[in-house]
Chain A
Amino acid sequence: MANFTLRVNGRSQTVDVDPATPLLYVLRNDLDLTGTRFGCGLAQCGACTVHVNGRAVRSCVTSARSVQGQEVTTIEGLGSPERPDPVQAAFIAEQAAQCGYCTVGLVMTARAFLAQNPRPSEPQVRQALAGNLCRCGSHARVIRAVMSAASAMAGGR
């Protein structure tokens, strides 16, 4: 075990964990940020996606040690039910979630993608989400939500 200082959602947090602990468990168990979800532990499904320095990464295969000193953003850091981020707001408007388990990973992936590609085509959005799996079948709504978030963000706020 070792003490680590992590920057999560804009705050410095010190945790005492095994350095190899995947970020996922640190977030969920040590920092009580349970919005990030365990889906496979194999980087195959995207449910655990968070941002490290604005880039979407799979927290299930990212060690706590490797993100020391980097800016980690989780779903909780993006927005809240009262003040949702534009991507979250678009997901809510489209009701783009059923069970909601994969949803946070989709929002995080889409948010990082739109930061790099503010005016994507629909095929680009689909491709950007190709590494995220959804079992309930919310695909069409999710794609619509990301396209509408892109428009809203491009429209200037």
Chain B
Amino acid sequence: MPTTRRAFLRRGLEAGGVLVVGATLGDWPLPAIAQTIPNADRFLGKPLAPDQVDSFLAIHADGTVTLFAGKVDLGTGGRIALRQMAAEELDIPPERIVMIEGDTALTPDQGRTAGSYGIARGGLQIRQAAATARQTLLGLAAPRLGRPVEDLEVADGAVRVKGGGASVTYGELVGGRALGVAVDGKAPLKDPQRFRFIGKSLPRPDVPAKVTGRHGFVHDVKRPGMLHARVIHPPAVGATLRAVDASSIAAIPGARVVRIESLVAVVAEDEWAAVRAARRLKTEWTGGTPLPDHATLFDAMKTSQVVREQVVAKKGDLAALTAPGAGVRTLAATYRWPVQTHGSMGPSCGVADVGPDRATVWSSTQGPHQYQAVFARILGLPKERVRLVYMDGAGTYGQAGAEDAACEAVLLSRALGRPVRVQWTREDEHGWDPKGPPQLLELRAAVDGRGEVAAWETRAWLPVATANLPGVPLLAPDAAKIAQPQGRSTGLIHQNVDPPYAFPNVHALVHWIADAPLRTSAIRAPGKIANTFAVESFVDEIAALARVDPLEFRLRHLTNLRGVEVLRAVASRMGWQPRPSPRSVDPAAAVLTGRGLAYVHYKHDETIVAMGMEVEVEQASGRIRATRVVCAQDCGLVINPDNVRSQVEGNILQTLSRALHEDVVFDRQRVTTVDWASYPILTFPEAPALEIELIQRLGEPPLGAGEAASAPVPAALANAVFDATGVRLRNVPFRPDRVKAALSAGRG
């Protein structure tokens, strides 16, 4: 692959020295060229423990540096931001850093790239390792320069005597050798006043290759002798394969059937032959696990068995609700968030090369180390014998089908003794990737005569996650009858069920229910989108009841000054005129316009976001158009502003899509919304104008940008629709038919 990324990396690697290797290559899994980064395998045997500087960094004789990151770039910009953080502490230009990501044989385990922690946790680990390396370099330079460490400083890849004078380059000091020091949590970080790279909008190194079609994705991996596979998923969830008629594909040259219990696939050297065989193969299935009725899903959730209650917030009492005094008004509302899919643009793909005693897997998983362990267990191999190499995929936003496709490739490769590439179809991806779970929230409040919230109650019905699950239970082991830990994975979907405001009496309770339809996994900003939708819609309902301007109402009850700052920033940019919602509505107007506001303090201790939205609602069709979204975000230290802006844009547009359009529909057997026609997403004509303001806090830690700005989107949208129409939308998605019905009922 003649990519700029490769060329860029090659320069650094070929110029660099060889790190001390601690083991013979024979002990390492498949030291053949597994990495797209040239010569990467020369590092096999390097330290991997996350407490060692050498696990993260190698300094070469020519002054270039290789950065080994357990966190991976999902299109999210870690590829530049992590370089900026390391470059800052080492004081070398980021372009002198080569980065290897998510290769279990080469990079330390930094945990999944998830939860908006890529920079906030992974980046800080790397920064601390680089700061430790700088201290070590200063120490090594002292005898060479004949001066105490206090007299020395680093500058542009060298240690020099402060104020000018003698210097020695990093390459001269350690080129090619390990540093052999532990990461020092107390190694001083660079003073933000002296930042050269952090805070700059440096361009991402992978964009030119992505735009010119040269960037390598997992879908592009080719191995000698590789077979293309298509897995035939059952017609019903949990069905058992009764029979396969191999003769049904006999006419397709080179195609053959592979069956392991109910895991059935067709393979061929020619991909098109595999596609045709998959379409033509006759299979018979029996049984299955009936799915609940989609139409009554939320009723079923409410009457579902509660396995555990969790008090998320408990302050004061609910007397004002249970026995409201004179002049106290109460209100109650139910909010429903449907099952949604990740909707990865590229159907999942995985490539595996499994031998008798070792395996290499190429996957776009967000958890390379996590699934290295999962696949090792499935194969019955020691973890060290399984090498998982991260390759870019289409965005997955949690966990889509990548791990399933990779696991299918693992089992098929083992059975065939050849490398296997499994490519899912669009129908596979929409039908079989694990889904975002549904959420049901009931809110109640008592509002006194002065418009103050005398009591607030949240009750949420949420599918319970299984504790200590090593990963999402995968399709292939179940089909192949290979034991795996069973249970449900959801992400932390209970956060932000309680309001971020200083109300005196607040109870927030989660009823963890036993079940949910379909397999689930984390989907971007797990749970927080639905919870913030409910909480921030309900705040708006209370403000409307009290006839108070929605901005004024929030500011009155917000004690977090950083929260006040983002809200004021949005209001100022929007030219917010104080008045209660809704505006006076002209029932005869063809198009109604309105504005809405929402706020989140993500997980109550991370990024802070305020969002304003302007909408048009077409009365005849019920069609909503978001015309303008204004967002102010405080995510602490911003490493790369343009990249954070890009993440905020993505959060807004993806969540707008989820709020306006998305609902996974299923019959009693399987998902029926299995393409982009039945599961539509936001299109280019629908994209609103975006205005984003970032608050840079150089002296604060970074708090994460990958998720938070998605949380306030649906409430800002629903609040704007209410402002425009006087009608409250509480059921996602806000599709035209549903909006039209709500408008008719609201006017009734």
Contacts and interface: CB of A to CB of B under 8 A. Distances in A.
A135 interface: yes
B676 A40 contact: yes
Interface in B554-587: none
Nearest to A22: B272
Contacts of A18: 270, 272-273, 276
B209 interface: yes
B296 interface: no
B228 to A, nearest CB: 8
Given A92-B207, A100-B75, A130 B685 contact: yes
* Most chain A CB inside 10 Å of its own CB: which residue of B1, B343, B426, B677: B426
Interface stretch (B332-340, B446-454, B651-659): B651-659
B646 A74 contact: no
Q: Interface extent on B, as a size class?
A: 35 or more
A102 B652 contact: no
Interface in B1-26: 1, 3-4
A120 to B, nearest CB: 13
Contacts of B180: none
A76 interface: yes
B676 A138 contact: no
Nearest to B648: A137
A44 interface: yes
A8 to B, nearest CB: 13
Interface stretch (B181-189, B213-221, B316-324): B213-221
B211 A99 contact: no
Contacts of A92: 203, 207-208, 211
B308 interface: no
Contact of B681 (A33, A78, A84, A133): A133
Interface residues of A, number: 62
Nearest to A98: B75
A106 to B, nearest CB: 9
Contacts of B77: 98
Contacts of A138: 646, 649-650
B480 interface: no
A39 B687 contact: no
Interface string B659-695: 0000000000000000111000111110101100000
B19 to A, nearest CB: 29
B206 A35 contact: no
A129 B687 CA distance: 11
Contacts of B208: 81, 84, 88, 92
A18 to B, nearest CB: 6
A141 to B, nearest CB: 7
Contacts of B495: none
Nearest to A82: B4
B213 A36 contact: yes
Contacts of B344: 135
B680 to A, nearest CB: 9
B649 A141 contact: yes
A84 B220 contact: no
Nearest to A95: B207
B617 to A, nearest CB: 20
Nearest to B394: A101
Interface of A: 1, 17-18, 21-22, 25, 28-29, 33-42, 44-45, 47, 74-76, 78-82, 84, 88, 91-92, 95-104, 107, 123, 125-127, 129-130, 132-143
Interface of B: 1, 3-4, 74-77, 203-204, 206-217, 219-220, 253, 270-273, 275-276, 343-347, 392-395, 397, 423, 425-426, 642-643, 646, 649-654, 675-677, 681-685, 687, 689-690
10 contacts: A17-B272, A38-B346, A40-B347, A78-B212, A81-B208, A81-B212, A97-B207, A98-B646, A136-B75, A137-B653
Given A1-B253, A91-B207, A123-B685, 7 more contacts: A34-B219, A92-B207, A130-B683, A133-B683, A136-B395, A137-B649, A138-B646
